[in-house]
Amino acid sequence: MIEAFTQAGWSLAKPNASMFIWAKIPEVARDMGSLEFAKQLLLHAGVAVSPGIGFGKYGDAYVRIALIENENRIRQAARNIKKFLKDLEEAKQ
């Protein structure tokens, strides 16, 4: 997942010992905050993540991703995320 998402334009840090990744919101979407980013990611990429704000005020720059999907779904999510981030970047230009 980390490699696929990084290739899609969203760098993730490898978790130490957890089934979750705490992912910093990509720079292009950071101004949205975690709740709006999670909503937009679901609506436009079909990828569900947990907004970090739900875990406290310091979590708003992050989302939580569960490491529970199979490899095919991860690849599809990465393709969708890549398109979503590209579209978002183009919209801001």
Q: What is the pLDDT of residue 36?
A: 98
Domain limits for position 72 = 2-92
Q: What is this structure's pTM?
A: 0.88
User: Which of 88, 38, 85 shows the shortest CA–CA distance to 63?
Assistant: 38
pLDDT computed for residue 54 by the predictor: 96
Q: How far is CA 21 from the centre of its chain?
A: 10
Q: What is the CATH number for 8?
A: 3.90.1150.10
pLDDT beyond 90 at 17? no
Residue 80, judged by CB atoms within 10 A of its CB (0-12, 13-18, 19+), counts as middle
Domain count, the chain: 1
Amino acid at 37: F
pLDDT tens-digit map of 32-75: 999 999 999 999 999 999 999 999 989 999 999 999 999 999 99
Over residues 79-90, the pLDDT tens digits come to 999 999 999 999
- What is the rounded CA–CA span in Å between residue 69 and residue 48? 11
Q: What is the pLDDT of residue 13?
A: 85
